[in-house]
Amino acid sequence: MDVRCLLPSGTSTPAPRLNGSDVEEVLERMFAPPSVDAGQVPMHARSRIDTGEMRLALAILEDALRCALRHHHSRITEQRLAAREAMDWLRSDDDAPPFTFVRICQLFDLDPDWIRDTLHRHLFKAPTRHDSCAGTRHAA
């Protein structure tokens, strides 16, 4: 194994395009539940996602995040344009109902700036040598 792949790189090139499992991992980490007992969560908060409108709002947010993460660095023009559209929606401070980014964040008590910052970090992080060596085979 080449240990240079484990060392951080000094380059600041855009991160490589994320694959499906990477996107799932990022979304899981972004929206991991806090470590609290179910008894600590008020009853009304647990049942909030049971309405169709809330499920739709969550699906819209999830779709925008997936699109931005998967297609931001795509070579396919349509995918890049869809990612740009999603990023524009995520950057918007419009809070008009019903389904603007800020309004959806308010529905779920999410901090829009935290989501934007986390997304930006994942999209523009500098790749490490480990990332660039992930697809290569090393002799044992």
The answer on pLDDT for 4 being more than 60 is no
What three-state secondary structure class fits 29? helix
**Which distant-in-sequence residues (6+ apart) come within 8 Å of 100 by Cβ?**
89, 92, 94
Residue 70 lies in a domain: yes
The boundaries of the domain holding residue 96 are 3-32+54-133
The verdict on residue 46 lying in a domain is no
pLDDT tens digits for 31-61? Answer: 665 544 555 545 554 455 668 888 899 999 9
> What is the amino acid identity at position 124?
F
Domain total in the chain:
1
CB contact set of 8 (below 8 Å; sequence gap of 6+)? 128, 129
**Of 25, 19, 24, 29, nearest in space to 115 by CA:** 29
Q: Region 129-135: what's the mean pLDDT? A: 46
- pTM passes above 0.75: no
Q: Report if residue 66 sits inside a domain.
A: yes
pLDDT number for residue 26: 73
